[in-house]
Amino acid sequence: DDLDACSGDCATSRRFVFVTADVYDGNLGGLAGADALCSGLVDDARADMVPAFLAGRTFKAWLSDDTQSPDTRFSAKGEGFGGTYVMIDSTKDPVELVPVAVGWAGLVSGMLDHPLDHDQHGAAVVSDKAVWSNTQPDGTAGKWAMANQVDDGHCMKWGNNAVGFGNAGQADLQTGNWTANGATVCN
């Protein structure tokens, strides 16, 4: 017992979330490429963050294409994850863990406890808060694509930056618009 009012497995009852610090076009290398990008960003950021919080964790991009979505590809839904989704806020001293949602149900409820507005370094996102998603607030694939969209909102399975539109969310919002806030060009 380390006297922190936390059980021995409480660290595993947290899942870490972040918005990327860099801006990307719609060619993310597909869902697998986007997942690898997220994990790579965290690996690069570990020197700037609290390594114990992130060591050995797997990260997946909150993205959907026409066959997969967080609802189908994240283990949290299937395992009934009831822990807390948190993001690191390194603007505080000491560093704080900011609760974003409680459990999978909270993440897909349409209302976050706090906007998902900090990057992999724990810094507040202050510009270009649009985030690729093609994901509805309930974690399923987006259905709100523009009528003239070539690829139904996922930049041709997140592999295209030449034509079309991708559905996006807005990082500074707590409502379902954090994941579903309109479309933007893939380039």
- Please say whether the beta carbons of 83 and 14 come within 8 A: yes
Distance CA(172)–CA(10), nearest Å, equals 28
2 part of a folded domain = no
Strand partners, 165: 185
The band of 128, judged by pLDDT with boundaries at 50, 70 and 90, is confident
Q: What is the mean pLDDT of residues 152-170?
A: 91
Residue 159's nearest CA partner among 37, 21, 74, 33 is: 33
Range of weakest confidence among 48-62, 123-137, 171-185: 48-62
Per-residue confidence band for 80, with pLDDT thresholds at 50, 70 and 90: confident
> CA-CA distance, 99 to 88, in Å (whole number)?
9
As a whole number, mean pLDDT of residues 141-147 equals: 68
Contact 99, 88 (CB under 8 A): no
In a domain, 3, yes or no: no
Residue with tokens 């870490």: 16
Share of the chain above pLDDT 70, in %: 83
Q: Which of 45, 97, 42, 34 is nearest to 70 (CA)?
A: 34
Residue 116 within a domain: yes
pLDDT of residue 8: 47
Q: Residue 175 falls within a domain, yes or no?
A: yes
Residue 148 pLDDT exceeds 70: no
Total count of domains within the chain: 1
Rounded Cα distance, 40 and 31, in Å:
14
Q: Is residue 97 part of a domain?
A: yes
In the predicted model, is pLDDT for residue 9 greater than 60?
no
Residue 36 lies in a domain: yes
Name the CA radius of gyration of the chain, rounded: 16
Q: Read off the pTM.
A: 0.86
Q: What is the pLDDT of residue 125?
A: 92
* pLDDT tens string 105-114: 999 999 999 9
- Tell me, yes or no, whether 5 lies in a domain: no
**Confidence at residue 46, expressed as pLDDT on a 0 to 100 scale:** 62
pLDDT at residue 55, as a whole number? 65
- Closest by CA position to 153, among listed 31, 64, 69: 64
Question: Tokens in use for 39?
Answer: 């994990």
Domain coverage including residue 32:
11-185
Q: Look-up: residue for tokens 């694509």?
A: 145
Residue 4 lies in a domain: no
Residue 147 pLDDT level (bands cut at 50, 70, 90)? low
CATH of residue 89 = 3.10.100.10
Residue range 29-68, pLDDT digits in tens: 999 999 999 988 887 666 655 445 676 678 999 999 999 9
